[in-house]
Amino acid sequence: MTRLMANLKQLRSARELVAFIEAQDWNAVDAHTRLIALHEINQAITKLRESQNLPPIDDPLPDAPLNALLRICQTINQFPAPSGEARRSIRQMLE
């Protein structure tokens, strides 16, 4: 989380963030911490988009490629949830 938060503080590119997230071992991170990470990532991407005069949220159409946040969600949540926790789809999680 320390490396993630440092990366988010100086976020300049969603592509760089996706590459950073994909390079991490999310299997070693518990579900609660992953949710906190996703919240912080969402906040940072929103802030980055707004600083570039873009809408804060821009979800792709159903048949379009995933945007940075959805790719990150997919990466972080690719592992089974701990026993007793329901697994939700990426789109459900962001609602």
pLDDT in tens, 8-31: 999 999 899 999 999 998 988 988
Domain range holding 80? 2-94
> pLDDT class for 93, splitting at 50, 70, 90?
low
Tokens of 26: 């999310």
Q: What pTM did the predictor assign?
A: 0.76
Q: How far is CA 67 from the centre of its chain?
A: 10
Q: Is residue 60 very low, low, confident or very high in pLDDT (cuts 50, 70, 90)? A: confident
Q: What is the mean pLDDT of residues 52-75?
A: 90
Task: Specify the number of domains making up the chain.
Answer: 1
Please list, in sequence order, all residues whose beta carbon lies within 8 angstroms of the beta carbon of residue 33, skipping any fewer than 6 positions away: 1
